[in-house]
């Protein structure tokens, strides 16, 4: 019971708020007071959804595409996603293995729902995307967070999976590229983790929602390694469709029906207009726009990374993808929470404290998101420099 006697489930006490959203709300309050805030906190591309996708959405609405689709998704979209794997990665993925979902969050809820029983465990990185552990808790499972260091580029490895897997473990959840670090997992490591999980009747879940936003090497997918992994992807990041709430799963064939049953009960289907709009995401004109935006993100990374290092932030690994820099702020003598609060209130620069991403090293790290233009990044760096010089 809470103070008023209203009954709450025990799990609610274990599911923490997403601190970056609280920080964003405070930033908006300051902006309403007339203060200029540089937003380096939120993991949402600043680019608007590309016009071909918007136009396809308009056309779908005008054509009356406002009714439910099958729970697995619009057949044409499932085929288009399979076609994208063929053209981009040279893979023959059956559309029957693809489940369209309300965002990657919906995809993760489905996958974990068919794998997790009470008191079973899912391995994941610490630091890592904060909602993952809460999804596991939602199903009464346990997120077993594994501390990862710079020496593994903040990723799980086959050695770490072997060391932490136990009789209650049902899956390992990894991300490539990862949030908050932007690092990739090497194919050999993915193969090793997938094989180890399979040998123990478990599964490897690979979050690939930042796929496409890779800068210094060819893009890749875990599907090229094994057809027994679960791959989660999204139209939010590379495709720039955050508010459309659309993602997908590529699942082993024998899991499709269980996932379908759960989707029918949880949300019936993904948003219909969004699914029709997403058909335009794979057109050559759209992909040309998206590739230009990928180049812009790389340019931002290549400016902000050395600028932050020059200011004294310790960023030991150059991120391979996504749009984040995970920086050690220990030398400034302030915890990440205090530093991020002071940067917002005194310098007008919003960054995310490491506490959002786990426990290991959280108080010594902040995350910068380069989801704003170069002009804004220059302004933010000037304010950071002024703050460091005069306040620390």
Q: Which CATH number belongs to the domain containing residue 210 in this structure?
A: 3.40.640.10
Do 130 and 164 lie in a common domain?
yes
Could you read off the pLDDT of 8-50 as tens digits, one per residue? 888 888 888 777 888 889 999 999 999 999 999 988 999 999 9
Do 43 and 82 lie in a common domain?
no
In a domain, 143, yes or no: yes
CB 339, CB 364: distance < 8 Å:
no
Q: Is the peptide bond before 127 cis (omega within 30 degrees of 0)?
A: yes
Of 381, 298, 296, nearest in space to 347 by CA:
381
Report helix, strand or coil for 315. Answer: coil
Do 247 and 308 lie in a common domain?
no
Do 322 and 251 lie in a common domain?
no
Last residue of a domain, one of 221, 249, 281: 281
Task: Indicate the number of domains in the chain.
Answer: 2
Last residue of a domain, one of 259, 281, 303: 281
Last residue of a domain, one of 281, 297, 330: 281
Do 221 and 113 lie in a common domain?
yes
Do 113 and 227 lie in a common domain?
yes
Joined tokens for residue 29:
């309050």
Show Cβ contacts of residue 358 under 8 Å, excluding neighbours closer than 6 positions.
125, 126, 127, 128, 130, 145
Do 76 and 203 lie in a common domain?
yes
Helices 284-311 and 374-391, axial angle in degrees (round to 10): 10
Buried b (16+ CB within 10 A) or exposed e, 307-320: bbeebbbebebebb
Do 222 and 349 lie in a common domain?
no
Could you read off the pLDDT of 232-252 as tens digits, one per residue? 999 999 999 999 999 999 999
Domain range spanning residue 21? Answer: 10-48+286-391
> What's the pLDDT score for residue 2?
52
Average pLDDT over all residues of the chain: 96
In a domain, 5, yes or no: no
Could you read off the pLDDT of 113-169 as tens digits, one per residue? 999 999 999 999 999 998 999 999 999 999 999 999 999 999 999 999 999 999 999
Q: DSSP letter at 22?
A: H
Output 63 or 3, whichever has higher pLDDT.
Answer: 63
Could you read off the pLDDT of 101-117 as tens digits, one per residue? 999 999 999 999 999 99
Would you give the end-to-end CA distance of the chain in angstroms?
44
pTM of the entire structure?
A: 0.95
In a domain, 53, yes or no: no
Do 31 and 93 lie in a common domain?
no
> What's the pLDDT score for residue 22?
84
Do 219 and 93 lie in a common domain?
yes
CB 127, CB 180: distance < 8 Å:
yes
Report helix, strand or coil for 341. Answer: helix
Do 234 and 159 lie in a common domain?
yes
Do 82 and 228 lie in a common domain?
yes
Q: DSSP letter at 203?
A: E
Q: Is the pLDDT score of 196 beyond 80?
A: yes
């Amino acid at each position: 019971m809470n103070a008023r006697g209203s009954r709450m489930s025990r799990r609610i006490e274990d599911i923490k708020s997403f601190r970056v959203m609280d920080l964003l709300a405070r930033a908006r309050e300051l902006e309403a007071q007339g203060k200029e805030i540089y937003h380096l906190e939120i993991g949402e591309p600043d680019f608007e959804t590309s016009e071909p996708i918007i136009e396809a959405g308009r056309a779908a609405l005008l054509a009356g595409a406002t009714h439910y689709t099958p729970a697995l998704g619009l057949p044409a979209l499932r085929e288009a996603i399979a076609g994208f794997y063929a053209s981009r990665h040279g893979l023959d993925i059956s559309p029957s293995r693809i489940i369209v979902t309300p965002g990657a969050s919906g995809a993760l809820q489905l996958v974990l729902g068919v794998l997790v029983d009470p008191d079973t465990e899912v391995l994941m990185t610490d630091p890592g995307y904060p909602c993952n552990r809460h999804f596991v808790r939602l199903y009464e499972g346990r997120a077993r967070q594994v501390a990862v260091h710079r020496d593994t580029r903040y990723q799980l490895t086959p050695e770490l999976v072997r060391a932490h897997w136990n009789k209650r473990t049902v899956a390992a959840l990894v991300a490539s590229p990862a949030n908050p670090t932007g690092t990739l997992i090497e194919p050999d490591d993915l193969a090793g983790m997938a094989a180890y999980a399979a040998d123990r009747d478990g599964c490897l879940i690979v979050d690939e929602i930042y796929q496409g936003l890779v800068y210094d090497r060819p893009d890749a997918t875990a599907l090229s390694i094994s057809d027994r992994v679960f791959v989660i992807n999204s139209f939010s990041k590379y495709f720039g469709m955050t508010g459309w709430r659309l993602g997908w799963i590529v699942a082993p064939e024998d899991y499709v029906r269980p996932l379908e049953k759960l989707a029918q009960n949880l949300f019936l289907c993904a948003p219909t207009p969004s699914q029709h709009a997403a058909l335009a995401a794979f057109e050559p004109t759209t992909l040309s726009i998206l590739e230009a935006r990928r180049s812009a993100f790389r340019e931002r990374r290549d400016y902000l990374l050395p600028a932050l290092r020059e200011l004294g932030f310790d960023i030991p690994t150059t991120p391979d993808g996504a749009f984040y820099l995970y920086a050690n702020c220990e030398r400034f003598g302030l915890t990440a929470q205090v530093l991020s609060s002071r940067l917002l209130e005194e310098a007008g620069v919003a960054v995310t404290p490491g506490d959002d991403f786990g426990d290991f090293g959280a108080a010594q790290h902040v995350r910068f998101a380069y989801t704003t233009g170069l002009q804004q990044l220059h302004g933010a760096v000037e304010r950071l420099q002024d703050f460091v010089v005069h306040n620390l």
